[in-house]
Amino acid sequence: MKPILFYVCVFMLGCFYCHGQYKEIEPLQYKIRYWVQTQSDSIDYKSSDAERFVLDVGKNNTSVYYSEGSFERDSIISQQLQKPITSINLMGMPKSNYSYTIIKSRNSEFIKIKYIDVIQKNKFSFLENLNLNWAISNQKEMVNNIPCTQASLNFGGRKWTAWFAHSIPIQEGPYKFGGLPGLIVKLQDEKKYFVFQLENYRMAKAGEMLKIKESSLVSTETTKLKFVQALNHFNENIISIMNADGVFLDPEATKNLERRYRRNNNPIELE
């Protein structure tokens, strides 16, 4: 889910507050980075972009998945807000099209998901229990010089293919995915609109903890359906909402923003 809000950095600044504090959840086991390629417009391959996501995996079956650029940007803004300044310097700020955080916990039956994101200036979250019915094949392949096994899945209205590594014995992966007998090294939908590729991973250092932003734990709880409805309403009415907040764009900037919204028509989950 990709709110058009993040194309208007100045309008975003009201969303950033209390980003400096972290809560330690459990000992960290792995820190994993994925390079994620997405195509926001289903009919325009030029709308493709890519950015890095981080998956922090704890030793007690909890993980946190987030955009590295968003995390770095929030940290810089938090530091600037600690200073006696009257404005935020956006020059050179790390960029990200995504603001969501996904917290996953697992038991023997399903993956429990907490999805957290910002719409306008409000933070919302919803819970899901996912039982991902993977079909594991006998097909083997080397991916990133790692021996992998192929698996397939129907999820969110798309058909997915994953390559996972038995040699990295954690049932984890990017976004909401997981539940295979090894780390997901590569994942893509059948049209390659969304491609997740393992970039690197490392074991945790002694004493390193899985941490979650305390601000991520404070949100308005809702349902997935209501969240999607609110997000669509915001994206479809962004100009009037910005105007109501006292933010006005010139005609050319308004056209560019509306054009970007029209191109943002290819969510990762179709249902």
- 110 φ/ψ sector (left φ>0, alpha ψ -120 to 50, else beta): beta
- Assess if residue 73 is contained within a domain: yes
Contacts of 244 (CB under 8 A, 6+ apart): none
Give the residue ranges of the chain where pLDDT is below 50.
4-19
- Assess if residue 53 is contained within a domain: yes
pLDDT at residue 63, as a whole number = 97
- Assess if residue 17 is contained within a domain: yes
pLDDT at residue 74, as a whole number = 65
- Assess if residue 54 is contained within a domain: yes
Question: What's the structural domain count of the chain?
Answer: 1
- Assess if residue 80 is contained within a domain: yes
pLDDT at residue 215, as a whole number = 78
- Assess if residue 87 is contained within a domain: yes
Q: Which domain holds residue 246?
A: 4-130+192-263
Phi, psi dihedrals of residue 64, rounded to the nearest 5°: -130, 130
- Assess if residue 211 is contained within a domain: yes
Structure tokens at 163: 């390559």
> Beta-carbon neighbour count of residue 107 at 10 Å?
9
With contact defined as beta carbons under 8 Å apart, do 173 and 184 qualify?
yes
Q: How many angstroms separate the Cα of 133 from the Cα of each of 18, 111, 177, 200?
A: 38, 11, 11, 27
With contact defined as beta carbons under 8 Å apart, do 119 and 231 qualify?
yes
pTM of the model: 0.86
Q: Which of 168, 201, 189 is nearest to 270 (CA)?
A: 189
- Assess if residue 150 is contained within a domain: no
